[in-house]
Amino acid sequence: MKTIKYLFAITILFTSFVSCSSDDSDDLKEENPVEGLNLVETIETDHHDIELYSANKSFMIGYNDISIRIKDQATNTYISNAEISWTPVMHMTSMMHSCPTSEVSLTENTTVSNGFIVFQMPGNDTEYWNLKLNYSIDDESFEASKNIEVIADEDDMRSVSSFMGSDNSRYVLAMVTPVNPEVKVNDFTAVLYKMEDMMTFSVVEDFTVTVDPRMPGMGNHSSPNNEDLTYNAASNMYDGKLSLTMTGYWKMNLKLLNEDGDVLKGEDVTEENIESSLYFDFEF
Amino acid sequence: MQHIKAMGIMLYPNQAINKLKRVCFLVALTLPLWSYSQQENHKKHAQTEVDSVKTNILKEVVLIASKKKLFYQQEPKPLASVDEFLDSAQKVNMIKRGAYAWEPAVNNMVSERLSVTIDGMRIFAACTDKMDPITSYVDVSNLSKITVASGQEGSEHGVCVGGAIDLELDKTGFKEDYFKVNIESGFESNNKQKIIGADLNFADTNFYVDADVIYRNADNYFAGGGEEVLYSQFEKYNLSFNGGVLLKNESKLTTSFIFDEARNVGYPALPMDVSLARAFIGSVSYEQLHLGQLTHWESKLYANSITHIMDDSKRPDVPIRMDMPGWSDTYGFYSQAQLNKQKHNVLFKVDGYYNRALAEMTMYPNDPNQSAMFMLTWPDVHTLNSGIYVQDQITFAQSDLKVSTRLSFQNNRVADEFGLNSLKIFYPDMEASQNRFLTSMAAQYHKKINAFDVAAGLSYATRAPSVSEGYGFYLYNSSDNHDYIGNPNLKNEQALELNGSVALNKKTFNISLDANAFKMPNYIIGEVDTNLSPMTIGAEGVKVYQNLDYAVITNVALSSAYKISKTLNLNGVISYHRGIDNDQRNLPFISPLAYGATLKYHKKTFNGELAMRGAGKQIHYNPDFGEDQSDAYTIFSLALGKTFYVSKNQLYLKTGVENIFDTYYSTYSDWNNIPRMGRNIYVSLSYKIN
CATH number for the domain harbouring residue B106: 2.40.170.20
Chain B 578-637, CB below 8 Å of chain A: which residues?
Answer: none
User: What is this model's ipTM?
Assistant: 0.84
Mutate to test the interface with B, among A246, A250, A274, A281 (most CBs of B within 10 A): A246
Determine the residue type at B543. K
- Residue B433 lies inside a defined structural domain of this protein: no
CB–CB of A248 and B370 under 8 A?
yes
What does the DSSP 8-state code read for residue B631?
P
The H or E element spanning position A10 is helix A2-15
- Residue B213 lies inside a defined structural domain of this protein: yes
| Residue B65 pLDDT | 59
Question: From 1.20.140, 1.20.1070, 2.60.120, 2.60.40, which CATH number describes the A160-283 domain?
Answer: 2.60.40
Q: Which member of B8, B320, B367 has the closest CB to residue A17?
A: B8
- Residue B85 lies inside a defined structural domain of this protein: yes
CB–CB of A19 and B27 under 8 A?
no
3-class SS at B661?
coil
Instruction: Give B-chain residues touching A224 at CB under 8 angstroms.
Output: 425-426, 531-533
- Residue B434 lies inside a defined structural domain of this protein: no
**Closest-CA distance of chain A to residue B375, Å:** 5
* Maximum C-alpha span of chain B: 80
CB–CB of A8 and B374 under 8 A?
no
Q: Which member of B12, B372, B425 has the closest CB to residue A224?
A: B425
**Closest-CA distance of chain A to residue B384, Å:** 7
**A/B interface, count of CB pairs below 8 Å:** 152
Closest CA to B149 of B112, B111, B108, B115: B115
Closest CA to B399 of B449, B345, B338: B449
What does the DSSP 8-state code read for residue B142?
G
| Residue B80 pLDDT | 86
Find out whether A264 and A238 touch, Cβ atoms under 8 Å: no
Question: What's the whole-number mean pLDDT along residues A183-194?
Answer: 97
| Residue B12 near chain A (CB below 8 Å) | yes
| Residue A243 near chain B (CB below 8 Å) | yes
| Residue B319 near chain A (CB below 8 Å) | yes
**Strand segments (E) across B12-127:** 59-63, 92-95, 103-106, 114-118, 121-122
Closest CA to B457 of B427, B499, B415: B499
β-pairing, B163-169 vs B114-118, is: parallel
From its phi and psi, is residue B3 left (phi > 0), alpha (psi between -120 and 50) or beta? alpha
Q: Which member of B16, B24, B535 has the closest CB to residue A218?
A: B535
| Residue B390 near chain A (CB below 8 Å) | no
| Residue B247 near chain A (CB below 8 Å) | no
| Residue B248 pLDDT | 83
| Residue A185 near chain B (CB below 8 Å) | yes
| Residue A246 near chain B (CB below 8 Å) | yes
CB–CB of B421 and A11 under 8 A?
no
Mutate to test the interface with A, among B350, B409, B427, B431 (most CBs of A within 10 A): B350
| Residue B498 near chain A (CB below 8 Å) | no
Find out whether B341 and B392 touch, Cβ atoms under 8 Å: no
Gyration radius (Cα) of chain A, Å: 24
**Closest-CA distance of chain B to residue A232, Å:** 22
pLDDT of residue A25 exceeding 80: no
- As a whole number of angstroms, the distance between CA A77 and CA B312 comes to 63
| Residue B192 pLDDT | 96
Instruction: Give A-chain residues touching B372 at CB under 8 angstroms.
Output: 247-248
Q: Which member of A245, A248, A249 has the closest CB to residue B422?
A: A245
Find out whether B269 and B670 touch, Cβ atoms under 8 Å: yes
- All residue ranges of chain B with pLDDT < 70 are 1-57, 65-76
The region of weakest confidence among A16-25, A250-259, B426-435, B679-688 is A16-25
**DSSP assignment of A60-96, as one string?**
ESEEEEEEEEEEETTTTEEPSS-EEEEEEEEE-SS-E
| Residue A3 pLDDT | 53
Question: What's the whole-number mean pLDDT along residues A108-132?
Answer: 94
The H or E element spanning position A192 is strand A185-197
> Helices A2-15 & B14-30, crossing angle to 10 degrees?
160
CB–CB of A15 and B320 under 8 A?
no
- As a whole number of angstroms, the distance between CA B532 and CA B544 comes to 9
Indicate the pTM of the whole model. Answer: 0.86
Closest CA to B321 of B362, B359, B360, B266: B362
* Number of compact structural domains in chain B: 1
Question: What's the whole-number mean pLDDT along residues A105-116?
Answer: 94
Q: Which member of A11, A185, A248 has the closest CB to residue B373?
A: A248
Instruction: Give B-chain residues touching A244 at CB under 8 angstroms.
Output: 425
Backbone angles phi, psi at B671, to 5 degrees: -55, 130
| Residue B320 near chain A (CB below 8 Å) | yes
A65 CB-near residues (< 8 Å, 6+ apart): A54, A55, A114, A115, A116
The hierarchical CATH code for the domain A38-151 is 2.60.40.10
Residue A19: pLDDT band (50, 70, 90) is very low
| Residue B9 near chain A (CB below 8 Å) | yes
User: Range of B184's domain?
Assistant: 2-425+444-689
Q: Could you state, in order of their start, the residue ranges of all structural domains in chain A?
A: 38-151, 160-283
Burial class (CB in 10 A: 0-12, 13-18, 19+), A57: exposed
| Residue B537 near chain A (CB below 8 Å) | yes
3-class SS at B64?
coil
Instruction: Give B-chain residues touching A17 at CB under 8 angstroms.
Output: 1, 4-5, 8, 354, 384
Count the neighbouring beta carbons within 10 Å of the beta carbon of residue B48.
13
Report the residue of chain A nearest B427, measured CA to CA. A225
| Residue A4 pLDDT | 53
Find out whether B325 and B127 touch, Cβ atoms under 8 Å: no
Instruction: Give A-chain residues touching B424 at CB under 8 angstroms.
Output: 184-185
CB–CB of A225 and B294 under 8 A?
no
CB–CB of A15 and B409 under 8 A?
yes
| Residue A128 near chain B (CB below 8 Å) | no
| Residue B25 near chain A (CB below 8 Å) | no
Q: Which residues lie across from B399 on neighbouring strands?
A: B447
HEC string of B123-139 equals CCCCCCCCCCCHHHHCC
| Residue B42 pLDDT | 32
| Residue A77 near chain B (CB below 8 Å) | no
3-class SS at B34?
helix
| Residue B56 pLDDT | 62
